[in-house]
Structure 1
Amino acid sequence: MKKNINQAGLSPADAPLSSIAPRVLLVDDDVELTELLGSYLERDGFAVHAVHNAQAGIDSALNGCFDIAVLDFMMPRSKSGLDALNEIRGASALPLIMLTGKGDDVDRIIGLEKGADDYITKPCTSRELAARIRAVLRRTNSSFATTTPFDDIIVNGLVLRSAARSVTLNGRVIRLTSTEYSLLLILAKNVGGVVDKTKLSQGALGRHPSRYDRSIDVHISSIRRKLEVFDEGSVHIETIFGRGYQLLRR
């Protein structure tokens, strides 16, 4: 596995994303695990770089050389995976997948609330991780998508610009994570209609929701909080219990 992604010439200025392998940053203190996952991902067509502490993960994630980061939630030393997530998300919209321990529901919810795009539980298979990475890249980066719609969607004061994956509400920019944008886009395309959680999960997370999976609920809650800051009564996300969510005009 490559020790330094820059040695392979994979800097943002070298070539457009569509002409190179997707660049994956693995951040985990388990060296043996990252070697195993990294080797598989490279055989599967990814360019992989691994670091083994939170600070190195922060520095690498913010250097602009990667398309996605896979970040272990629990890491020792002075900074944890949550610290790394906070710092990365505070400065970058880089897609992030959190690695969490099996059964650590609280960690998953916290990670999603802090801006992770998705999570995967340990132990995980290399094939599952590769599938999750591809799913996140397809919905967050047009360079890896099969189609790229460029039509803007306007719902009262809410404007979603597909080409830039940006959102404004009443003329003010709303900073959403890639997954939050994808969820809001699905709701906006179905404005006034109820969208069930299965459709939301498949469209925004690229997977069928598992039993007791609260990922969609947590992301929707985050979107609501961000919209409420600049909302002037123009739109509202309604919970339809037992069915899903709907975006309503006001």
Structure 2
Amino acid sequence: MVLLQDLEKENYKLKRQLEVAISWMRRNIKEQAQKVSNKKLKKMTLATKSCFIEENIEENIIKQIGDFFGDLMLLNIPTSAIENIISAEINYYNLRKTPSTDGMTVISSYHKALDILIENFIVKGFRKFAKKYNQTILYKNDPLEKSLHNVVNKGYILSIGRLFHLINILKEDKEKFPYVKCFGNYLDKYKYIKEVLFEESFYVIFEELVSSEIFGRKRHIGSMRFVETRKSRSLLIGDFKDKNCLIYKLLKMQDVVY
């Protein structure tokens, strides 16, 4: 009986802690939305600014983020990633109002959010893993090996293109260079990450995004049409309706925490 009471007390305590965390998270998202909105409003035309306020876009964005991801998933999203998602959506609203505007502002914000998620959910763990198993020396004069060497030893980010290339190499049945092999060993240990990265639907979306060159050549050119932006946004965030999208799947891998 005492044990049951102890468990009930512990469950109540954990429930309260979760409620506090969720409350803080919701407040944080609202604060981020207000901060980003105030900054973006200064750059909007008077007409667009008026529509933005009248249509209550800030609250709509907060709601669509909350409804799409849910409280538990949102607890795992870094604040900086949320900020960039909000920024992307405000930019997308502005783009819909003025389709002649360059869509790269939308994609650039989503690119930053994606970099943050990859760093926090994949690369940080790999960096620790590589150092733990003494994979810190560059043995091969290979572009990907050099990139991974810098990721591990200099804290560089692992670019979206490099990650895609890495997945492709790991799928091939041939000998791997040391850093690539180490990354493969890392995925073998943390199978919940590997399952997402090697999932067919994830790979198809990832391949389409990389092939579109929105994170490469087109980003450097600095110009993107509305149609391309809309398509890329759909692949990245599923229009906040379709969970078969890149960002949702990356966040889904963190469900293992719970």
Which has more strand, going by share of residues? Answer: 1
Q: Same fold (TM over 0.5)?
A: no
TM-score of the superposed pair, with normalisation by structure 2: 0.33
TM-score of the superposed pair, with normalisation by structure 1: 0.34
Report which structure shows greater RCO (CA 8 Å, sep ≥6).
2
Which has more helix, going by share of residues? Answer: 2
